[in-house]
Structure 1
Amino acid sequence: MRNFAFRMSLAVLAAASLSACGKKEAAPAAPTAAPAPEAAAPAPSFSAADWTDASGDFVSPTGDAIGKIEFKDGLGGVLMRINVSGLTPGWHGIHLHMVADCSDGAEGFKASGGHLNPDNVEHGLLNPNGAHRADIPNIFAGADGNAEAEIFRAGVNLKPSEEGAAINGPYPLMDDDGFAVIIHESPDDHLTQPIGGAGARVACAAIKG
């Protein structure tokens, strides 16, 4: 009986061995391809053609073209980009004037009129009784006489709109005769009346609708 059981065990082991040999090993699964990376979004464009609502060319007292200013209107104010050459090195006052007329450079650009001030308040960004709508920060010209600046002037609008008037009052910069941007020979101290001691007008840009 013992011999029979032993022979049966050998037979079972042999059958199991043959069965295992008859099976093929499963092929390894193919690796999953990694997802392709998403294409990077194009960089936002910030060219003048996309965002400029108004612009003008600076001229010198002799009538030479010396630069450009561009404006973008927003509900809370106006963004300005300035690029001008031919200035004396240092700080220069820059203001918004009443009329888009730079035709009399030899006479000091007087045709551009006085400061835009429909609210009839005093001059000066640092003046507790100001500022009026013409007032913006000084710009700085390097040793080569070139100045580049981007300035946001809060509290004004370029063109009329109900939304802008509700925030900034009923006096947009642009009207029937436009306005001018004047650069002065000296910096504005933002306090002294009527123009902060900024001196003579040395460049003018006419801004028309």
Structure 2
Amino acid sequence: MRKLAIVTTVIFLAAFTSCKEKAKEAEKEIEEEVTEVVKEVEEVTSKEINFELEPKSDSKARGKVEFTETDGKVTMKAKIAGLSPGTHAIHIHEKADCSSEDGKSTGGHWNPTMEPHGKWGDENGYHKGDIGNFEADDNGTGMVSITTDEWCIGCGDEKKDILGKAIIVHQGVDDFTSQPSGAAGARVSCGGIIQ
């Protein structure tokens, strides 16, 4: 009888220890899964890129640009200084290469859907890079803000992904009709959209 009690106790302790270890393993697995889900949610719900615009074409135009992606929409905010007062065009160009003095190393407007140049949202078509015009005040400072679901940051979709492109600020006004780029004049500031 005593042997039976000892064997029962040993079996009970072994089972208890085994259950406790399995519970710890299960708890650890759950914690790891929760951590992964949180990382995925953070990546999906909020991405951000900040960079500076540097002068081009012998201008003094400098600025800062911020792209933020939240819940499938990208917001671009830019502040540019050192411009001549008045209206200026701003576009996304094909390549994040600001190495040339005139900014032309960025290529043409980013146009992955092969549309004609136009005003953003125009039913007759527009480039994904056709952001538009903005005003610089008497001090030569201007701001731009746009939010769209037509862009993404690092999603890999060639028709939406802005990574590897560039922001170009032009000296002149985009007329929204001249092909292929709106006759906006010299490229006075440039910044690559890179992480």
Report the TM-score when normalising by structure 1: 0.63
Q: Counterpart of 1:173?
A: 162
Identify which range, 70-79 or 87-96, moves more after superposition. 70-79
Q: Distance in 1 between matches of 2:47 and 2:137?
A: 26
1:117 equivalenced with 2:111 (yes/no): yes
Give the conservation status (yes or no) of the 8 Å contact 2:116–2:125.
yes
- Distance in 1 (CA, whole Å) between partners of 2:192 and 2:144 is 18
Runs of at least 5 residues in structure 2 that lack an aligned partner in the other structure: 1-45
* Alignment correspondent of 2:39: none
What is the aligned partner in structure 2 of residue 88 from structure 1?
A: 84
Correspondence 1:206 to 2:195 = no
Q: Could you list the structure 1 runs, at least 4 aligned residues long, displaced by more than 3 angstroms after superposition.
A: 62-65, 74-77, 126-129
Where does 1:3-152 land on structure 2 (aligned, <5 Å)?
Answer: 53-61=48-56, 62=58, 66-105=62-101, 108-125=102-119, 127-152=122-147
CA distance in 2, matches of 1:136, 1:115: 10
Deviation at 1:129, TM superposition (A): 3.2
The percentage of aligned residue pairs carrying the same residue is 36
Q: Deviations over 1:137-184 (max 9, x none)?
A: 3111001101123222442222217xxx6xxx853112xxx1110001
What is the alpha-carbon distance in structure 2 between the residues aligned to residue 207 and residue 132 of structure 1? 17
Rate the CA distance shift 1:118–1:67 in 2: closer, same or farther, 3 A: same
**SS of aligned partner of 1:149:** strand
- In 2, the alpha carbon distance for the partners of 1:69 and 1:153 equals 16
**Distance of 1:170 and 1:112 partners within structure 2:** 18
User: Cα deviation per residue 1:21-59 (whole Å; 9 max; x = unaligned)?
Assistant: xxxxxxxxxxxxxxxxxxxxxxxxxxxxxx661122111
Distance 2:167 2:79 in 1: 12
Number of equivalenced pairs: 148
Structure 2 counterpart of 1:183:
169
CA contact (8 A) 1:124 1:132 kept: yes
Q: Distance in 2 between matches of 1:125 and 1:158?
A: 22
Question: For structure 1, which segment, 133-142 or 151-160, has the greater mean C-alpha deviation from structure 2 after superposition?
Answer: 151-160
- Provide the C-alpha distance between the structure 2 equivalents of 1:97 and 1:150, rounded to a whole number of angstroms: 17
Which one-letter code corresponds to 1:81 in the other structure? K
Root-mean-square deviation (Å): 2.3
Give the secondary-structure state (helix, strand or coil) at the position aligned to 2:155: coil
Which protein is bigger by CA-based radius of gyration?
Answer: 1
The SS at the match of 1:67 is: strand
Note if contact 2:87-2:173 (Cα within 8 Å) is conserved in structure 1: yes
Q: 1:202 to 1:63 in 2, by over 3 A?
A: closer
